[in-house]
Structure 1
């Protein structure tokens, strides 16, 4: 700056510096760091010495020094011990006003408080406000001009005001991002607490011996990273147990990724679990992470693992064994740290014997097997389960719900082929049907799904008969047996649906529904 002889030269130099300053401010959301570099540019290139950035602390109503450029090479950043109260020093004045302050002679201004001991009292001093969109002061930017000429001071003052405007935008953006991050962290922590409460041990309901044993196993296995295989009929609560294991483990703060293996064919299942590279197949327009990558340092829950094909099981075996894989269409090996919980309602031992499930994968998954009992084997747990479900429904429907003893007796007498899931649906259906909030036996209903008794082997078709089954026997027989019984009844009655329905103690609508869903071809006689 010593070779500057004209205002035009100074303005040209300041314009060049403006570009560099803008680039520094756009390089980071940490305004303290970027402003420190800006203050250095102002000092070394623009003739604005010993710059200070002070930001208003609204809670304490003070101006807090955030960045300083020292001519002694000691660039102090974020010295929170230096602050100015309202009316204290020139910077403190900006808590009372929001207009630029120019001091021609520091030695004659009693307001000046040189707390940092940086300034030359024989030179002028400029302090400009940082303002938000509402013209409120959010901080102050100050520096000491190298030159005392009124023309130079006027140019430098306007320039410093422009720099203050740029810094203000940077500060506001940084505060917005910080506030958003704090808000997201609070929401995240709140959701984590809610999820952990939802899947805490207190929410595992049941007091029968079988369930107490399951709960004890959950407590023990949650401490370690061993692979868990959850077994049991559909609707017994395998996913609830998987949630309890994850959210009570050391991985609870990391991802819990779920995938129903029965919902996708092998080619899509591979892409879903392992991800794919761009162009790996038609429609792969960009790289995509798989579920295993998403679950890194967390847990992955593979539901219906018994539904996968042996070809896919071979690929899955490597991930479980080595904790590494390649994306579809990729060559780079990706290593992950994932805890695996699998679930199935199939008899895997029989599947292994039939060569439909790989024996090596079975042993890899069967490290910690947990057999969940069907609800019909834990009927004493029904009152506790019902109370738990009614409390949850009461919160959901925002009303008080209760159940009578008569309704409980009806629930206790049912065989529950759909297990806990069926019980939950039954309770919700009953709650919808009651206006008073008291669930009585008259609103308890079960799906219209009568079972059909099968004839003894060797009995002629014309002598076969069906016996109406009580509600507690619904769903006792497999669908293939039901289908054959319907066909036999139709054959016996000359393929007249109404007569076959009477023979089976059904309504014409019920038998027509079964004919449709069982794909029975009606013969025309």
Structure 2
């Protein structure tokens, strides 16, 4: 019985449905299974084999072997390998309705041995190379592959090879990214410090050198760059990691209140001092004390802080005795303290005591190579049980890479949190971003999406160029008839004079 595609499903419609199905898959193995199932189901084959050439050994490897029931075939050798290699070498599809009576297959032992009847072998071609083949067969005369089946498979192969190459690239990048993360992890054991860019690797290298020392560290960077995170990472990887890590934001309290918080006070030293209070420096003894925005300290408190650094002693307010403290001091500021010293608002001797080691933390705009890994990290961190997002679209990533990020990583984290809430599917799209991120000067109109016809026109022009404007070669490469190609050239107003 002659096999025909259903009357209500044209080749173009079948191709559109196939394209929709495979373009939504990012996993390499899942993609190959789907390609095979679509091919088998559409042409009603009994068996299908998807083979890819190993780039290193150049050997053909069966990646998927399936039957019409979508079951995996254990013995993948019972096929006509000669036909496979002929298609691979010629770059042309091979079809037969009855291999038993076809003179091209007379000398092929596999045809008789495995009772092969209908066979289609379509090469997977990418520009000027063939990366593999799709092999379909049937062992009964009830299923005969006709020209329509071949025309579909030729066109489908062009779609499939693009998806395969993209999935391989994605898989390769994922492996490379994992390798790089493992490399960084083996070098720097800093949880939650994400960075693969050169500026951040410099920061990580410096952190590695100082973690097991007790020298003061000054972190300098804009608001939102992660100064507190880095301070905590230094502590948790130091010899003091089992002791306390205490933070005080220096700009949040009036001078008198901040002084009592930092140094403590003696009972009765002022109205309301009903009992002795341990200050934060004492509480952090043998641990790490992080002074955030140290540039906001008053000159009075700066003087007392200098004594802590020089003598490792503090005196509670209203007390007459000094107390020894053993703390490592990490400070942070978004100010240029050299300028504050010149203006007289910051003590020069304190400045040099604090900046024994100075770490300049780059703003996000100067480390944009980190944005993809930061986005992945933040998605994993911020996803909830009720709302999980897998990633961002390529258009969104383009927007994020072009945006200037005045709020740095804090702004990126807030943006991801906003987008997760707004997202309707597994991917964050441009419309899910906050309005301030979607700058019309940044997002060009074509970034949203190209029309399918634009993509097809561009593809036809590229294939024409590759085939030196030969219509016959171009139609063969596209897997369509010459008549269809001529119609497309007219439809898309492709007027360059082709050479036959």
Give me the TM-score of the superposition, normalised by structure 2.
Answer: 0.49
Q: Which one has the largest radius of gyration? A: 1
Quick one: higher RCO (CA 8 Å, sep 6+), 1 or 2? 2
* TM value normalised by structure 1: 0.47
